[in-house]
Amino acid sequence: MNDALLDWYAAHGRDLPWRRTTDPYAILVSEIMLQQTQVARVIPRYGAWLERWPTAASLATASVADVLGEWVGLGYNRRALCLREACSVVARDGWPEDLTELPGVGAYTAAALGAFAFGRDTVALDTNVRRLFGRLGRRLAPRPGEGPVFNQATIELGALVCRARAPRCSACPFESCCEWDEDPETERRPAERFEDSNRWVRGRVIAALAAGGELPAVDPDRLERALDGLVRDGLVQRDGAVVRLG
């Protein structure tokens, strides 16, 4: 099954910039950016980020305001601060053997970083890969030395073919042995509009402060809740009526 997977990836895998490097810092940047953010949005931001801060040491010395300003539009701004904190640890102590010791690095990110940067035969289980293995009815594993390409292949297959909705089963290398019975998905409640969420207000605040403008004109109660959370998370500072980034 591994051969079928790797053959499929060789023919269909996308050429993404973070797949052309084994630099742990560059791969960590890509993994943090890609958390709940579409690939198309990340690609140009990834290049700009590495041009501005090409090493972990350079990011570690950046100001919170600069880091948040560069992150605007990628969402979940706390990720940017965790990335900066992780780079501070690396700049001081080097890369730990247990990568989950780095701030903001959980089991998936540690497995991905271990495979792509350090050549480990770990299995990076993101949402797409878990769905792929669940439908397939088995969990695959890399053979010795396959860790980097195996994980790229499973992540790619889950993202492009074994999709949550409208999976492209006829394009899957495992079509003949997959155990998925094509049960209809359970009914979902209507999703909250993003513009009605606290995340939307928080993002507007960060973007406005990064641009040097005034706070956004939104409902005062929503703005106050967003500001309180941003202060608690260390993303903004507040001194009376004066609000500024980190």
Per DSSP, the three-state class of 203 is helix
The yes-or-no verdict on residue 238 having pLDDT over 90 is no
The yes-or-no verdict on residue 186 having pLDDT over 50 is no
228 and 129, same domain (yes or no): no
123 and 210, same domain (yes or no): no
91 and 146, same domain (yes or no): yes
Give a yes or no: residue 133 inside a domain. yes
What is the domain extent for residue 206?
194-245
30 and 110, same domain (yes or no): yes
158 and 204, same domain (yes or no): no
183 confidence band (pLDDT: 50, 70, 90): low
Of 31, 51, 146, 175, which one is the catalytic site residue? 31
Give a yes or no: residue 98 inside a domain. yes
81 and 127, same domain (yes or no): yes
Can 85 be counted among the known catalytic residues? no
Q: What is the DSSP letter of 175?
A: T
Give a yes or no: residue 185 inside a domain. no
The domain spanning residue 115 has which CATH number?
1.10.340.30
14 and 129, same domain (yes or no): yes
- Long-range pairs for 197-205 at CB < 8 Å and ≥24 separation? 198/222, 198/225, 198/226, 198/229, 199/75, 199/76, 201/225, 201/226, 202/77, 202/226, 202/229, 202/230, 202/235, 203/72, 203/75, 203/77, 205/230, 205/236, 205/243
pLDDT in tens, 20-54: 999 999 999 999 999 888 999 999 999 999 999 99
Give a yes or no: residue 177 inside a domain. no
Residue type, 132: L
163 and 198, same domain (yes or no): no
pLDDT in tens, 121-161: 999 999 999 999 999 998 999 999 999 999 999 999 999 99
223 and 156, same domain (yes or no): no
State how many domains the chain has.
2
Here the tokens at position 166 are 């409208």
